[in-house]
């Protein structure tokens, strides 16, 4: 691991492009530890968004399929940026073509497009882990509800789940054992937003092979993986990948769906109208081919323009190796400081080894007041921004922790490459004071 001084020097350079990190309140900078939810943006992304509004603020410029409705100066410029963005997203995940990329508002919308668009039949099963994010659970529960209605069978079970290791790590044997000849979809989170655990690439490849053998498809939720590691869809052998651009230094409300072209093009469109159509008549409609058939109405052109700089910043300017090295160093520091504090009223979730938890560390307690106190004191004393609650993995937390009455009392700190070891220490000092003297801080109980 690099020396502290190297990491510190790197951090200063890596922080420089982020205007939000140069703000201060009460003479102190922000400590932004909510990167799992959304990351900050570097100046180059902000400038790109501003350029759209200042220089070529036009509509409908982006399609690469030759069906654009305007041909003029502004629109030509916008179309160039849009093509660059789709190319950047395609190369990021090693798609076969930019036409395999659909713009969405976020990973949730991308997953909804797949869950809504697949032709499922009663008898088909959808498989996931016990810890899927609501965005990779609820769209499938809705697919289950639709199938029940069609089959006229309110008890039809369509979605099944397999268990993880006791500590939350991935268990390939359990996942493989859950795949049956009826498995039509494996919808799996690549990395957990709760505890950062990652499904190893080898396991993904093995699962993809097995799912294809039984005639199913593999939908990978990459919301927490693409911002942190190289994801090569062809190498992994998956069929769809959903991710969010706003979790990788990009504009808010931008996401992407990648799909193998034949499968993507065969999906029923989800939100329709606007630019999704090739032509309409009073009584019928002919849809465009992918990706246009999924991009209804005017798009977030500013967001699209900001997407290529975001991808290039993460992948080329910073690079996944640096991201990995820094997240490991930061999470190791947080773990070294927080793990020894574990006691009957405070503990950590997920595997012990920070190398298994990406940039995420999540604390839990029976006491909601203790968790509230950490968040409140962190905010008031040091501008620490963390997240508290169930992190959209309610189903897993209920299943595992309802019995200890701690399902709702969690607090997550998630780091990215621009965080520093000093920030980890400031936060750990606060947690230590509160955990060692809880009664001094429980006034908001
Ligand atoms: C694992 C996982 N999947 C899906 C999502 C949904 O992402 P978005 O909010 O961009 O729709 C998130 C968001 O935190 C996530 O962590």
pLDDT digits (tens, 9 = 90+) for 298-336: 999 999 999 999 999 999 999 999 999 999 999 999 999
Is residue 41, in this structure, part of any structural domain at all? Answer: no
pLDDT category at 341 given cuts 50, 70, 90 is very high
Residues 300 and 182 in one domain: yes
Q: What is the CATH number of the domain that holds 403?
A: 3.90.1150.10
Residues 257 and 194 in one domain: yes
Residues 100 and 14 in one domain: no
Residues 327 and 305 in one domain: no
Q: What is the CATH number of the domain that holds 152?
A: 3.40.640.10
- CB distance 225 to ligand 1 below 6 Å: no
Q: Provide the domain limits for residue 435.
A: 4-32+319-444
Pairwise CA distance, residues 15 & 52, whole Å:
25
- CB distance 255 to ligand 1 below 6 Å: yes
Structure tokens at 252: 């808010």
- The pLDDT assigned to 312 comes to 98
Distance 111 CA to ligand 1 centre (A): 10
Burial class (CB in 10 A: 0-12, 13-18, 19+), 20: middle
- Statement: residue 338 has pLDDT above 50: yes
Taking Cα atoms as reference points, which of 89, 88, 66, 91 lies closest to residue 79?
A: 66
SS3 track for 64-100 = CCCCCCCCCHHHHHHHHHHHHHHHHHHHHCCCCCHHH
Is residue 437, in this structure, part of any structural domain at all? Answer: yes
- The pLDDT assigned to 62 comes to 45
- Statement: residue 161 has pLDDT above 50: yes
Is residue 398, in this structure, part of any structural domain at all? Answer: yes
| pLDDT tens by residue, 196-244 | 999 999 999 999 999 999 999 999 999 999 999 999 999 999 999 999 9
Residues 305 and 352 in one domain: no
Residue that terminates a domain, selected from 291, 315, 339: 315
- The pLDDT assigned to 66 comes to 54
Is residue 414, in this structure, part of any structural domain at all? Answer: yes
Residue that terminates a domain, selected from 264, 298, 315: 315
- CB distance 129 to ligand 1 below 6 Å: no
| pLDDT tens by residue, 108-157 | 999 999 999 999 999 999 999 999 999 999 999 999 999 999 999 999 98
- CB distance 35 to ligand 1 below 6 Å: no
Residues 237 and 357 in one domain: no
| pLDDT tens by residue, 20-77 | 999 999 999 999 999 999 999 999 999 999 999 999 999 865 454 555 556 899 999 9
CA dihedral 305→310→316→321, nearest 10 degrees, is -160
Is residue 244, in this structure, part of any structural domain at all? Answer: yes
What is the count of structural domains for the chain? Answer: 2
Residues 16 and 99 in one domain: no
- The pLDDT assigned to 64 comes to 47
Report the catalytic residues: 392
pLDDT category at 445 given cuts 50, 70, 90 is very low
Residues 122 and 198 in one domain: yes
Is residue 43, in this structure, part of any structural domain at all? Answer: no
Residue that terminates a domain, selected from 315, 335, 350: 315
Residues 271 and 323 in one domain: no
Residues 87 and 149 in one domain: yes
Residues 398 and 298 in one domain: no
Is residue 37, in this structure, part of any structural domain at all? Answer: no
Is residue 201, in this structure, part of any structural domain at all? Answer: yes
**Model-level pTM?**
0.96
Q: Which atom number of ligand 1 is nearest to the Cα of residue 36?
A: 14
**pLDDT averaged over every residue in the chain:** 94
Q: CB-based contacts of 254: which residues, under 8 Å, 6+ apart?
A: 103, 104, 105, 106, 244, 245, 246, 300, 303, 304, 306, 307
Residues 285 and 408 in one domain: no
Average pLDDT of span 190-196: 97
């Amino acid at each position: 691991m690099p020396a502290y001084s190297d990491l510190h020097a790197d951090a200063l350079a890596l922080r420089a492009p982020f205007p939000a990190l140069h703000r201060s309140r009460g003479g102190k900078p922000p400590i932004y530890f909510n990167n799992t939810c959304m990351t900050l943006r570097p100046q180059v992304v902000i400038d790109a968004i501003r350029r759209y509004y200042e220089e070529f603020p036009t509509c409908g410029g982006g399609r690469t399929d030759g069906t654009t409705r305007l041909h003029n100066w502004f629109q030509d410029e916008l179309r160039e940026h849009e093509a660059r963005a789709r190319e950047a997203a395609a190369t990021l995940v090693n798609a076969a073509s930019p036409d395999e990329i659909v713009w969405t508002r976020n990973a949730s919308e991308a997953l909804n497009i797949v869950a809504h668009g697949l032709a499922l039949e009663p008898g088909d099963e959808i498989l996931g882990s016990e810890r899927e994010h609501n965005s990779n659970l609820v769209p499938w529960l809705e697919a289950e509800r639709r199938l029940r209605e069609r089959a006229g069978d309110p008890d039809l079970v369509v979605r099944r789940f397999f268990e993880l290791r006791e500590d939350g790590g991935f268990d390939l044997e359990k996942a493989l054992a859950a795949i049956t000849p009826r498995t039509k979809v494996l919808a799996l989170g690549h990395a957990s937003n709760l505890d950062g655990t990652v499904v190893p690439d080898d396991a993904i490849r093995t699962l993809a092979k097995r799912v294809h053998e039984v005639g199913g498809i593999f939908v990978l939720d990459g919301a927490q993986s693409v911002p942190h590691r190289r994801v090569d869809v062809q190498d992994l052998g998956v069929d769809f990948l959903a991710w969010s651009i706003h979790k990788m230094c990009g504009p808010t409300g931008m996401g992407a769906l990648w799909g193998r072209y034949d499968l993507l093009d065969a999906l029923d469109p989800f939100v329709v109208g606007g630019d999704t159509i090739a032509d309409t008549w009073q009584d019928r409609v002919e849809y465009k081919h992918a990706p246009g058939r999924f991009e209804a109405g005017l798009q977030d052109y500013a967001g699209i323009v900001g997407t290529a700089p975001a991808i290039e910043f993460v992948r080329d300017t910073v690079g996944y190796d640096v991201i990995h090295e820094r997240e490991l160093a930061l999470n190791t520091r947080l773990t070294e400081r927080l793990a020894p504090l574990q006691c009957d009223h405070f503990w950590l979730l997920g595997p012990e080894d920070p190398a298994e938890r990406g940039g995420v560390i999540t604390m839990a307690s029976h006491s909601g007041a203790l968790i509230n106190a950490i968040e409140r004191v962190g905010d008031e004393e040091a501008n620490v921004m963390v997240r508290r609650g169930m992190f959209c993995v309610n189903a897993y937390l209920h299943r595992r922790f309802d019995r200890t009455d701690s399902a709702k009392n969690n607090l997550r700190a998630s780091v990215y490459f621009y965080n520093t070891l000093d920030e980890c220490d400031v936060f750990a000092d606060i947690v230590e004071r509160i955990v060692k003297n809880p009664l001094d801080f429980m006034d908001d109980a």
